[in-house]
Amino acid sequence: MPNILVVEDSPTMRQLISFAMKRISNSKVVEATDGVDALKKLSSEKIDLILADINMPVMDGLKLVSLVRGNPAYKNIPIIIITTEGAEEDKKKAIAIGANAYLPKPIQTQELIKLVNSFIGG
Amino acid sequence: MEREKNITKKADEFLQIFKKGEEFTQELLKENEKLRFRIAQLEETIERSGDEARIKLYEDRIKTVEDELNSLKERYKQVEEENKDFAVKYIEVEEENNNLANLYVASYQLHSTLDFNEVLKIVLEIIINLIGAEKFAVLLMEDKTNELVPVATEGMSIADVPKVRFGEGIIGTVAKEGESYFSENTHREGSAPDDRPIVCIPLKIKEHVIGVISIYSLLIQKEKFSNVDYELFNLLAGHAATAIFSSRLYTQSERKLTTIQSFLDLLKEKPRR
């Protein structure tokens, strides 16, 4: 059963992504409201994929990606960045710091499911 | 002499009989040959007629198999067509499912709290995350001044959004008439928050307009509105209005309750002194 960590400060987006992830068979969603909360969840649960927003309070998504990549215990976890920034340079920046994929908002659920499946082999 | 004659006569007779026998034998041999030939002919005819029957049988079988093949081909074609239809329907259902999920989440979140500021925050979240707007404002009707006053914004400050008189300009007209406004050009140059939004949605409780959502620009990656966006606009027009109105009333009544409670506490305390 793949565990997917959804890191989003917006409850609307968290609920929407969790809804979409329910359609990936056997997946379990773990929710976090910011980067710090995500690191706590990473230390307490085995996570197979991270879906993270960039703009979040306390700790943003980019900082979270760099911390995850710098930790040998988590460095191989695939990370998908979901954000309102749609410019090409934002995408390049996210990939450069270690994100595996980038999805601009508003998200297309089918596209998200397809992308998640490509990492967790659903 | 007589004896010799007899012997000769008998010999002649024997020769005659022998000749006749020879002739008869020849005839028998000929007849035998004829019969053999006839038998061979008959055998050949029988064999040929057997082959023809077999050929006929095979031809019939081939025809049956060909008919079955054609029928299977036809059925395969039909199944392929049905599959295509199912695939198209599946995509449609998936899309509808996703749209319903978006609408459900939006509706669920809007009615998840009675805190006025939280409701406004949720309205902003829906417009950013589900619709993909970059700059927009929520303006509420001020009955005393007959103006639409900005109460929440995204991508700009509240101070940048001017108050709008009821019935004036695009925003005022939307508030007055209660009909949504959609500009033909969704990515207009110079998206300053003036009186020319690209989308303006009235917030309505039945026919009573309590405010508007005015969108000035979309996120760079949002090229155009989809069907679900229009559904979301409709949902916002009704549900956001109810949620905003109820939470405002609740917040006001909570405030009044606190004031009354404080006043009652004060009255209770006085006699003790």
| pLDDT tens, position by position, B148-168 | 999 999 988 898 888 889 988
Tell me the mean pLDDT in the region B123-131.
90
Would you tell me how many other CB atoms lie within 10 Å of the CB of residue B151? 19
Q: Which CATH class is domain A3-120?
A: alpha beta
- Any residues with CB less than 8 A from the CB of A50 and at least 6 apart, and which? A4, A5, A7, A38, A64, A68, A77, A78, A79, A80
Beta bridge partners, A50, equal A5, A79
Residue B91: predicted pLDDT: 87
Asked if B105's CB is within 8 angstroms of A106's CB, the reply is no
Residues sharing a CB contact under 8 Å with residue B102, sequence separation 6 or more, in sequence order: A16, A109, B130, B228, B232
pLDDT band of A29, cuts 50, 70, 90: very high
Contact A106 B132 (CB under 8 A): yes
User: Residues of A near B (CB-CB distance < 8 A)?
Assistant: 10-13, 15-16, 19-20, 84, 86-87, 104-110
**pLDDT the model gives residue B194:** 60
Mean pLDDT of A25-46: 90
Task: Please report the pLDDT score of residue B67 as a whole number.
Answer: 94
Average pLDDT, integer, range B62-77: 94
**What local confidence, expressed as pLDDT, does residue B241 receive?**
92
Kindly report the average pLDDT of chain A as a whole number: 88
pLDDT in tens, B2-28: 778 888 888 888 888 888 888 999 999
Task: Using alpha carbons, select from B212, B137, B219, B160 the residue that is nearest to residue B186.
Answer: B219
Percent of chain A with pLDDT over 70: 98
Question: Inter-chain contact B130–A11, Cβ cutoff 8 Å?
Answer: no
Confidence of residue B189 (pLDDT cuts 50, 70, 90): low
Nearest to A106 among B104, B109, B222 (CB): B222
Q: Residue A84: which of B109, B229, B193, B134 has the closest Cα?
A: B134
Question: Tell me: the pLDDT tens digits for B190-232?
Answer: 555 566 888 999 999 988 999 999 999 888 888 888 888 888 8
The answer to whether B26 faces chain A, any CB pair under 8 Å, is: no
**Taking 60 as the threshold, does the pLDDT of residue B267 lie above it?**
yes
Residue B36 has a pLDDT of 92
Q: Do B101 and A16 lie within an 8 Å CB cutoff?
A: yes
ipTM above 0.95, yes or no: no
Going by pLDDT thresholds of 50, 70 and 90, the confidence category of residue B119 is very high
Residue % of chain A over a pLDDT of 90:
38
Q: A9: nearest CA in chain B?
A: B125
Q: Of A11, A84, A109, which is closest to B98 when you measure between CB atoms?
A: A109
Residue B50: its pLDDT value, please?
80
Which chain A residue shows the shortest CA-CA distance from B122? A12
pLDDT of A85 higher than 70: yes
State the average pLDDT for chain B: 87
Task: Tell me whether residues B219 and A104 touch, CB distance under 8 A.
Answer: yes
**What average pLDDT does range A59-87 have in this prediction?**
88
Phi, psi of B147 (to 5 degrees): -125, 155
Domain positions in chain A: 3-120
Max alpha carbon distance in chain A (Å)? 35
pLDDT tier for residue B188 given thresholds of 50, 70 and 90: low
Could you give the domains of chain B? 111-259 (3.30.450.40)
Q: How confident is the model at residue B139 (pLDDT cuts 50, 70, 90)?
A: very high
